[in-house]
Chain A
Amino acid sequence: MQDLLYFSQQLINGLTIGSTYALIAIGYTMVYGIIGMINFAHGEIYMIGAYTALIAITGLATLGIAWLPLILIVALLCAIIVSSSMGWAVERVAYRPVRGRHRLIPLISAIGMSIFLQNYVHLAQGSRNIGFPALIDGSFRFGSGEGFQMSISYMQITIFITTLICMTVLSLFISRSRIGRACRAVSQDLGMANLLGIDTNRIISATFVIGAALAAVAGLLLGMYYGSVDPLFGFIAGLKAFTAAVLGGIGSIPGAMLGGLILGVAESMTSGYLSGEYKDVVAFSLLILILLFKPTGLLGKPEVEKI
């Protein structure tokens, strides 16, 4: 019984983290699916989302507003607006001019952008990590008084529900809306979509904006969950999310969701049963193994190279 409770605790922790990885991973996967580049700065967009949310929460607290739903909604909206604008601007400044050049050039540009954004926040907000107020407190507890107690915090439930809503809205948006249909068309064949009268530049911008908005949601959720943010907050999370995207098959949106969950569970099992220090090693090893043995990921389509 004890072991089972401990195991379920790890599983729940893993699924919580994993679902936020999935939110970030969607940004990578959509961009990769359409223009075939790794948006290295995506982790930074997520970090900026977390910072903006914290700024909004602190601002509201200074104004004396204490009604929780209002605080959360305003923080979420601010984070989404700033991150999306950032995503749009980054694409415009750093990626559009180098689109279609040799593969390495957009990637190096993206790395430069990532370093730039990290230091932009670092210079403006300082390098120290800043505490994120725990707005949603409390938890459900299971298990007897003496032994291991399993707890599911309200925060974890909030993360689950929010992620679920985001995923559902995104799936509906991609499958039903005009822009979503255009997105799918562009990811299948950019040139052909262009010929058929789709403004591909706009669709690519839209992809960046959608990805950035989801990353902002993840930023708010993970900021609250971890309880602090710092300028390097996005780098590792971005790598993890990229791993999740590759795991699920890059370019595939359901794949990103699945990959995020698997990665989250793998990580929390490692820290639960081995050691917390090695959870990053496990994540990266997983990434390397997948790329070596199944580069298309779990749900990805094989890429046929034509000469």
Chain B
Amino acid sequence: MAAHNVKHALFCAVVTLVVAYPILGLNLVAQGTRVGLEGADASTIIIIFLASVAVFAFQLYRDTIMASLSKAPRLNPLAGREPMPQARRVKLESWVLTGIIVLALFWPFFVSRGSVDLATLVLIYVMLALGLNVVVGLAGLLDLGYVAFYAVGAYTFALLSQYMGISFWMALPLGALFAALFGLVLGFPVLRLRGDYLAIVTLGFGEIIRILLNNWTAVTGGPNGIGGIPEPTLFGMEFGRRVKEEGNTSFHDTFGIAYSGEHKVIFLYLIALVLAVITALVIRRLMRMPVGRAWEALREDEIAARSLGLSRTAVKLSAFTIGAFFAGFAGTVFASKQGFISPESFVFLESAIILAIVVLGGMGSQLGVILAAIAVTILPELAREFSDYRMLVFGAAMVLMMVWRPQGLMPMRRTHIELKRQE
């Protein structure tokens, strides 16, 4: 190896030390009103040094390692196989999806209340991710303020129920439509912007909406949020122990069964499931309709698409509005599930998590996004002791995905016609 290599490796190792040691190895602690400094425990220091040595070794033998990696046999057993024919793949996929949905329908009756509650949250994220998938994955518009539309949906329901006593079923379309309207109004001016400017502007919009919700105390209750949001009813049947509203009956009385708090949780789960399935199906249809093709065309090559007569504004706006619509859907369900909302739930981090789901699942791929939403929501719950590391891992995963597999874990497959192989 050349001396140049050693120098570079040494430099990298030193940088690793400089980057890691002051932040990880020296901890600031508050001592009364003053601030003191404490060294981290020995194991942290040892890990920092080991990391530095590892970086040195990797950089030193980088070429060799890379060469042997590319020569190593592919672990993926499917790699060498011929791709499944289009028709069979679609058939298989729809069978798998139907199976999952049937399983999801019956599953909540056999598990604990806590896991059904978690599953409802997962479904809300599925809706959000599917909606953002239209904007980011299909239309290629990086929206960093997506959570704003989620907030609009949730707050629409909360405010309407507080001031006008509107029920969940009335609020569901209203929340979604209102969010869509918001998307339309916001989208109109900003969609002329280029990709990265658009990202920053939507981020700004998201923050503005959060700050307004936080400070407009007279209407939104400010940081205290809004409570007492009603739960959904089933044809006028309430799920509480006692009937709250005149003219309604209670679910357990009507069917003559004992009251159980689980009914409500399962009902909410089923609503979320139905809505998530509707979201998936509607978007699946839209993807195959001319408007869906137009989204992808504009994403791939804006100039070519425009010269073929596509209206840039109309196409982008439709994606933006439809994405916002489903976020409003999810927001309404979220408000109903929590019974209480505050601006805390709609911070930028939430947008970043939804974006991470879309990116990890594979931009544009529905199945991938659904699986990623499930994984991203459930994994931190399974490993509670690591929950502090959740966002750290998300951040790292986003970077690594972009470096190694920008198309996501389950990349989108486009519908295409396969030619018969010539014999």
Contacts and interface: CB of A to CB of B under 8 A. Distances in A.
A86 interface: yes
A180 to B, nearest CB: 22
Interface in A24-67: 37-38, 48, 51-52, 54-56, 58-59, 62
B95 interface: no
A55 B22 contact: yes
Interface stretch (A14-22, A99-107, A188-196, A265-273): A99-107
* Most A CB within 10 A of own CB, among B22, B201, B203, B356: B22
A118 B200 contact: no
Interface in B1-52: 15-16, 18-19, 22-24, 26-28, 30, 33-37
Contacts of A133: 34-35
B359 interface: yes
- The dominant DSSP class at the A interface is helix
Given A55-B26, A281-B211, A85 B403 contact: no
Given A48-B23, A123-B392, A109 B403 contact: yes
A234 interface: no
Contacts of B30: 128, 130-131
* Most B CB within 10 A of own CB, among A55, A113, A115, A130: A115
A281 B214 CA distance: 12
B28 A58 contact: yes
B174 to A, nearest CB: 26
A98 B404 CA distance: 9
Interface of A: 37-38, 48, 51-52, 54-56, 58-59, 62, 78, 81-82, 85-86, 88-89, 93-94, 97-98, 101-109, 111-121, 123-126, 128, 130-131, 133, 235, 239, 242-243, 246, 275, 277-278, 280-281, 284-285, 287-288, 291-292, 295, 307
B211 A82 contact: no
B28 A104 contact: no
Nearest to B197: A291
Given A125-B27, A125-B28, A277-B214, 8 more contacts: A38-B200, A62-B36, A98-B402, A106-B402, A108-B398, A114-B395, A119-B392, A130-B28
Contacts of A51: 22-23, 28
13 contacts: A81-B18, A93-B399, A104-B196, A107-B142, A109-B398, A111-B144, A112-B397, A118-B395, A123-B388, A124-B24, A285-B204, A288-B201, A295-B197
A287 B142 CA distance: 17
Contacts of B356: 112
A121 B204 contact: no
